[in-house]
Amino acid sequence: MPLRVAYISKFPPQVGGIERHVYEIACRLVKGNNDVRVFTCNDAGETYTIDGIQVLNYRPLARIDTYYWIARPWLIRSFLKDIECFNPDIVHFHLFSNTLELLMPKLCKKYHVAVTPHISIGAGFYGLTVCQISVAILKKIAGNASLLICVSDMLCKWLKKCNLNFRGTIRVIPNGVDTGKYTPPRERTLEKPYRISFVGRIASEKNIPTIIKAFEKIREKLGEVELIIMGKGPLLKKYLKKYGNIRGVQFKGYVPEKEKISILRLSHLFIFPSLAEAQGISLIEAASCGLPCIASKIGGMPSIVKHGFNGFLVDPFDADKIANYAVKILSNEYLYHKMSINARKFAVENFDWDKVAEKTIKAYMEILDEKGVH
């Protein structure tokens, strides 16, 4: 029997990890003849359709930053009416993105509510502050939800220690990648110039200065090395001015997906020392392209990068260690190709979007069966 699923989340044309996650799962639900609607706040039209997915948009009153939107009060009433008319089997919130999620306690009284908190467990002042704020909100709004989905084991264990008083079902279902699209080249030769890539929001939490420091140390030891930084964000202009003239460094800004995949396939290594990350779709995409990865040993990143197997884990501020591991990988052809094969294999086995969607639907059915709905 088809499901009716309502997603309350950020969604394309906005760009980001949550948007990608919800889009990919929604597409697969629609292909399975399920009825899906997305309820969101952004600058797009009031109602639009993307790949067969109906999107109802509630234009915000204001935007605090890229992530947090304030909805107009009368549109909140409209949102509740639209939800009631749709009468979903599942209402799935992807936190945190807008004030519509503050209505979760109200919706929990009437619907089966699932929640995926994209909390970036992090390091330093930024990471710790974000975690504390996110957990405080989660405690207030999600206690009566039917299903809690965590994108990594690390996040699941961490949330259990936070005394959420959550009484529903808990499942770990990761982010994913289209492994048929993000593929390695037929042949990747380890020769100069070595290309190191990064994909992510150009913001403080992505720790770009440490990447630059590490890159300069790598170049001192290996000579011909290029660093390709893809992504847009509030610090792009500042970093372009500060680092744009460093030899070998390229800031690409936003790149379309096709170009991003092409650059990843031409790269040799992916560096991602983020200060806060629920898991990191960019890491999964790089691994699916067969890139050994160097990433922070915090948040959900250790669920993707297995130290010594498909890359290395580091303290996010340790530019020396990042550089040393990069040199180790790029100067040892046997190690490089072994890690490249392992990265691709691990991504295909664990993070393919089809498998992620199957796990999500299974979790939905579990809570509906418990309530005797299906």
Count of domains observed in the chain: 2
What does the pLDDT look like over 154-187, one tens digit per residue? 888 888 887 777 888 999 999 999 999 999 999 8
Q: What is the DSSP letter of 352?
A: B
Please indicate, yes or no, whether residues 309 and 217 belong to a single structural domain of this protein.
yes
What does the pLDDT look like over 59-88, one tens digit per residue? 765 554 444 445 556 677 888 899 999 999
Q: Return the pLDDT at 329.
A: 98
Distance separating alpha carbons of residues 39 and 11, to the nearest angstrom? 9
Strand order in the sheet with 269-272: 249-253, 225-230, 194-199, 269-272, 293-296, 311-314
95 belongs to a structural domain: yes
Please indicate, yes or no, whether residues 317 and 303 belong to a single structural domain of this protein.
yes
36 belongs to a structural domain: yes
Please indicate, yes or no, whether residues 221 and 144 belong to a single structural domain of this protein.
no
CATH number of the domain enclosing 310: 3.40.50.2000
Please indicate, yes or no, whether residues 215 and 324 belong to a single structural domain of this protein.
yes
189 belongs to a structural domain: no
What's the pTM? 0.85
Among 183, 174, 214, smallest CA distance to 296 is for: 214
Its domain, for residue 33, covers: 4-176+352-370
Q: Return the pLDDT at 103.
A: 80
185 belongs to a structural domain: no
Please indicate, yes or no, whether residues 168 and 198 belong to a single structural domain of this protein.
no
What value does the mean pLDDT take over residues 310-333? 98
Please indicate, yes or no, whether residues 329 and 363 belong to a single structural domain of this protein.
no
Please indicate, yes or no, whether residues 130 and 11 belong to a single structural domain of this protein.
yes
Distance separating alpha carbons of residues 251 and 232, to the nearest angstrom? 9
Name the residue with higher pLDDT: 30 or 75: 30
Please indicate, yes or no, whether residues 205 and 342 belong to a single structural domain of this protein.
yes
Q: Return the pLDDT at 67.
A: 46
What value does the mean pLDDT take over residues 326-342? 98
121 belongs to a structural domain: yes
What does the pLDDT look like over 272-307, one tens digit per residue? 999 988 788 999 999 999 999 999 998 889 999 999
Residue 272 near residue 282, CB atoms below 8 Å: yes
Window from 96-105, 123-132, 173-182 with minimum mean pLDDT? 123-132
Q: Return the pLDDT at 135.
A: 75
Please indicate, yes or no, whether residues 287 and 210 belong to a single structural domain of this protein.
yes
Please indicate, yes or no, whether residues 153 and 106 belong to a single structural domain of this protein.
yes
108 belongs to a structural domain: yes
35 belongs to a structural domain: yes
137 belongs to a structural domain: yes
